[in-house]
Chain A
């Protein structure tokens, strides 16, 4: 009976994250007027929908033991390209959106292929990707382009009313679909399990006959797609495209993944954790906003420290596990049966 209530040790980091989220929310709830409005909660999703989507893609990359520094730039590039194609070329958004999604996905696929086939560190390749995507934004336009197409406006005004006066826009719906797909992908497909296996031990995954090369390329491709989708969501949210958007977003996404309990070394973590990682950052921002006297840059400092805290926690967990294992093997030898029955010396 007790077993049912025992929580697997591997869920601990996730629980810490959720606990932290609840604590922060409770703090805001009881400290500030207006925080209790459910819309404040929904706004967390609305304002961070793009970050949520791209962080989910990043979760897969980090689970596989890699990193992607290009996402902020890819999002900005998607907004600029969307604005350019719909404004300057006059294409219909229904044509533009698939096009930009394809471009983002391709960028991811190219980076993934270089990482895999030229054996270059992901961090360097995606750094180049970041430069490239940012630069391409300015090649298209150095100024912000306003998106005026009615379709985008309709999308951005589209709201699904919930109880009371609360509502969620289309951005959140897209996020929820991505989340569901990501959880399915991570836990119910061979692709997802291979990602975990690669993060756990790439050499072993290879020897176990798993499609390591294909999966690694796909992980970056998927992340490219997620970033482009986040870019579409962001362009709907901002109704414009600009090369300076989402500067440094890759760091927010990495921080979200880490705060969400995913190990930076790969192999351990959950997509759901990342969602809470983003929400915690959103809550910090909201709380600082409600607080009023603190400036927005405190968000950066607090998020930085929080990330550090979680990384420290990860390495503490890891070393605790090592000590426990070592202690175990000593205990085991202590209460071992006398080995008299195992005669190791042969009859000479």
Chain B
């Protein structure tokens, strides 16, 4: 056990406000030497802001940071690195075109007579990787290796700068179980060497597996710091969500109500539908009035499955029928004509059209389905937009506001409005609540159930298991790009699904 008083980092009374938003209010955080400390909280709780303050991306409005008892103020991520605080992000910030060795050492490469000493460079890189028990060819381009190894290389680079604190921001979200285990081995090893590790993840089980302590944030405020062993899981969840679990019972009851009206005949049926390199062939049935949940880790193939169903990708295996008719043409437009709608996972990249107005964003899919020449007049567009702004309670000064100026939750509602305007029979919602505040989250979950009550069929995809369970009548579990289980009724419980996801 590490010495409990051996404090490495102390953040005291950190406040940070952005115009109109109090992102952090009087947050304390401490990290000991040789400790893995999980930073917990829902999206928007302030985790990333706290890390940004620590690593010099943002500057706090008040509060101080002590490293080894000395007050520090990181001016930039680079400066933070020099102070001994390194971060490894979920999306790897390395250059895939350079060799592994260069990625570890570029910027501090060994030199001989002013030119790069390649022999020495390779040697040093190998030494550092040895420390992590990794044996790969360091002369190969980094991009040739799987993400897990790239992440190890990123950690190696961080260690090379002889860091005291290592921040791992969602490092496991694209790793499989074995790779995760390997990463944990490395983390334990570094912990043994006396490093302080801050670990951010949304996989609760991993937190319980690896962390010593955890700090929970909610809405920019500190909820508390706990020893992992002493905080039961359910308590953690309610601390993160900030509501007692009873409150959520209401929705569960509502779900059971709607569950009685599911149609007998399937609306959408897939038989051994699949795409090489994307998702293994699977069977699927979706009924009117039903919410079907997809559970699984990020990268398990949930989005790939949705992409096939909506025709973003074409399958190279199997068949799909919609309302009894076999689907021949796979494209978003054809799917829209069939009465389908799809809110994609990446709201910024695939959802909103930032430079267009709320009005234009809302009518986009409807206009696309009507074609080039059946033009909705500006008056008609405004009518539709105003209707959904009111219906979904979208917070915008008017319909002509650029959608990029809206908050995340409202942007998500605009995309929902875009699809509701096409009056779809089937909706696929991929991570519709990611990165939006708790209030909007519940609204969207309720909306999904309301849509099911109206007789629409929904597919609900989320990384947050309890959210899937709360809204879905039936759940399909995916692992490693394969549908591995389908659960309904009494089988719908968190532990069981987690066991399936873990593959045990």
Which A residues lie within 8 Å of B377 (CB)? none
Q: At the interface, yes or no: B463 with Cβ under 8 Å from chain A?
A: no
Q: Is the CB of B93 within 8 A of A203?
A: yes
The 22 listed contacts between A and B (C-beta, < 8 Å) are: A10-B141, A188-B116, A189-B114, A190-B107, A196-B98, A197-B95, A197-B102, A197-B106, A200-B98, A208-B157, A268-B97, A321-B143, A327-B277, A333-B176, A333-B481, A336-B176, A339-B178, A339-B503, A342-B178, A345-B502, A345-B504, A348-B233
Provided the pairs A208-B94, A339-B178 are in contact, do residues A344 and B498 lie with their beta carbons within 8 angstroms? yes
Q: At the interface, yes or no: B146 with Cβ under 8 Å from chain A?
A: yes
Beta-carbon contacts under 8 Å, A188-203 to B: 188-190, 193-194, 196-197, 199-201, 203
Q: At the interface, yes or no: B495 with Cβ under 8 Å from chain A?
A: yes
Q: Is the CB of A344 within 8 A of B141?
A: no
- A323's nearest neighbour on chain B, judged by CB, is B277
Q: Is the CB of B176 within 8 A of A345?
A: no
Which A residues lie within 8 Å of B44 (CB)? none
Cα(A338)–Cα(B157), bound, Å: 31
Which B residues lie within 8 Å of A342 (CB)? 177-178, 180-181, 502, 504
Which B residues lie within 8 Å of A200 (CB)? 95-98
Provided the pairs A10-B141, A327-B277, A345-B502 are in contact, do residues A193 and B102 lie with their beta carbons within 8 angstroms? yes
Q: Is the CB of B504 within 8 A of A344?
A: yes
Q: Select the residue from A184, A209, A321, A344 with max chain B CB neighbours within 10 A.
A: A344
Q: At the interface, yes or no: A328 with Cβ under 8 Å from chain B?
A: yes
Beta-carbon contacts under 8 Å, A154-191 to B: 184, 187-190
Beta-carbon contacts under 8 Å, A210-257 to B: 210
- A211's nearest neighbour on chain B, judged by CB, is B107
Q: At the interface, yes or no: B278 with Cβ under 8 Å from chain A?
A: yes
Q: Is the CB of A339 within 8 A of B177?
A: yes
Residues of B near any A CB (own CB < 8 A): 77-78, 81, 92-98, 102, 106-107, 109, 114-116, 140-141, 143-144, 146, 157, 176-178, 180-181, 205-206, 208-209, 232-233, 276-278, 280, 480-482, 495, 498-499, 501-504
Provided the pairs A330-B277, A348-B495 are in contact, do residues A207 and B146 lie with their beta carbons within 8 angstroms? no
Q: Is the CB of A267 within 8 A of B502?
A: no
- A266's nearest neighbour on chain B, judged by CB, is B97
Cα(A210)–Cα(B105), bound, Å: 11
Query: Interface readout for A65-88 with B: 1 if CB under 8 Å, 0 if not?
Result: 000000000000000000000000
Q: How many whole Å from A216's CB to the nearest CB in chain B?
A: 15
Provided the pairs A193-B98, A199-B97, A208-B93 are in contact, do residues A346 and B115 lie with their beta carbons within 8 angstroms? no
Q: How many whole Å from B314's CB to the nearest CB in chain A?
A: 14
Q: At the interface, yes or no: A139 with Cβ under 8 Å from chain B?
A: no
Query: Interface readout for A321-334 with B: 1 if CB under 8 Å, 0 if not?
Result: 10101111110110
Given A197-B98, A208-B95, A348-B233: 17 more A-B contacts, CB < 8 Å: A190-B116, A193-B102, A200-B96, A201-B96, A204-B93, A208-B94, A208-B107, A209-B81, A209-B107, A332-B176, A333-B176, A344-B177, A344-B501, A345-B205, A345-B498, A346-B209, A348-B232
Q: How many whole Å from B139's CB to the nearest CB in chain A?
A: 8
Q: At the interface, yes or no: A1 with Cβ under 8 Å from chain B?
A: no
Q: Is the CB of A337 within 8 A of B233?
A: no
Provided the pairs A209-B78, A326-B277 are in contact, do residues A337 and B178 lie with their beta carbons within 8 angstroms? yes
- A185's nearest neighbour on chain B, judged by CB, is B115
Q: At the interface, yes or no: A205 with Cβ under 8 Å from chain B?
A: yes
Q: At the interface, yes or no: A292 with Cβ under 8 Å from chain B?
A: no
Which A residues lie within 8 Å of B95 (CB)? 196-197, 200-201, 204-205, 208, 267
Q: How many whole Å from B124's CB to the nearest CB in chain A?
A: 15
Which A residues lie within 8 Å of B233 (CB)? 346, 348
Which A residues lie within 8 Å of B501 (CB)? 344
Count of A interface residues, CB-CB < 8 Å? 45
Provided the pairs A330-B277, A336-B176, A344-B504 are in contact, do residues A189 and B495 lie with their beta carbons within 8 angstroms? no
Cα(A337)–Cα(B182), bound, Å: 14
Cα(A190)–Cα(B232), bound, Å: 52
Q: At the interface, yes or no: A150 with Cβ under 8 Å from chain B?
A: no
Q: How many whole Å from A215's CB to the nearest CB in chain B?
A: 12
- A263's nearest neighbour on chain B, judged by CB, is B97
Which A residues lie within 8 Å of B181 (CB)? 342
- B234's nearest neighbour on chain A, judged by CB, is A348
Beta-carbon contacts under 8 Å, A254-307 to B: 267-268
Partner of B115, one of A184, A194, A203: A184
- B147's nearest neighbour on chain A, judged by CB, is A329
Q: How many whole Å from A344's CB to the nearest CB in chain B?
A: 4
Which B residues lie within 8 Å of A210 (CB)? 106-107
Which A residues lie within 8 Å of B78 (CB)? 207, 209
Q: Is the CB of B205 within 8 A of A346?
A: yes
- A8's nearest neighbour on chain B, judged by CB, is B140
Which A residues lie within 8 Å of B144 (CB)? 9
Cα(A204)–Cα(B157), bound, Å: 13
Q: How many whole Å from B78's CB to the nearest CB in chain A?
A: 5
Which B residues lie within 8 Å of A348 (CB)? 232-233, 495
Q: How many whole Å from A336's CB to the nearest CB in chain B?
A: 6
Cα(A8)–Cα(B141), bound, Å: 10
Q: How many whole Å from A133's CB to the nearest CB in chain B?
A: 32
Q: Is the CB of B115 within 8 A of A189?
A: yes
Cα(A130)–Cα(B94), bound, Å: 35
Cα(A343)–Cα(B499), bound, Å: 9
Cα(A330)–Cα(B412), bound, Å: 32
Which A residues lie within 8 Å of B106 (CB)? 190, 193-194, 197, 208, 210
Which A residues lie within 8 Å of B206 (CB)? 344
Cα(A323)–Cα(B157), bound, Å: 28
Cα(A343)–Cα(B232), bound, Å: 18
Q: Is the CB of B178 within 8 A of A188?
A: no
Cα(A53)–Cα(B278), bound, Å: 46
Q: Is the CB of A344 within 8 A of B102?
A: no
Cα(A48)–Cα(B52), bound, Å: 53
Cα(A327)–Cα(B275), bound, Å: 11
- A199's nearest neighbour on chain B, judged by CB, is B97
- B117's nearest neighbour on chain A, judged by CB, is A188
- B139's nearest neighbour on chain A, judged by CB, is A8
Which A residues lie within 8 Å of B495 (CB)? 345, 348
Q: Is the CB of B278 within 8 A of A336?
A: no
Provided the pairs A197-B95, A201-B96, A208-B106 are in contact, do residues A340 and B504 lie with their beta carbons within 8 angstroms? yes
Q: How many whole Å from A196's CB to the nearest CB in chain B?
A: 6
Cα(A205)–Cα(B103), bound, Å: 10
Cα(A210)–Cα(B108), bound, Å: 10
Cα(A213)–Cα(B143), bound, Å: 24
Q: Is the CB of B93 within 8 A of A346?
A: no
Q: Is the CB of A344 within 8 A of B178?
A: no
Provided the pairs A326-B278, A345-B205, A345-B498 are in contact, do residues A336 and B178 lie with their beta carbons within 8 angstroms? yes
A-B interface, 4 closest residue pairs, ranked by CB to CB distance from nearest: A200-B95, A346-B208, A200-B97, A333-B480
Which B residues lie within 8 Å of A267 (CB)? 95, 97
Q: How many whole Å from A147's CB to the nearest CB in chain B?
A: 38
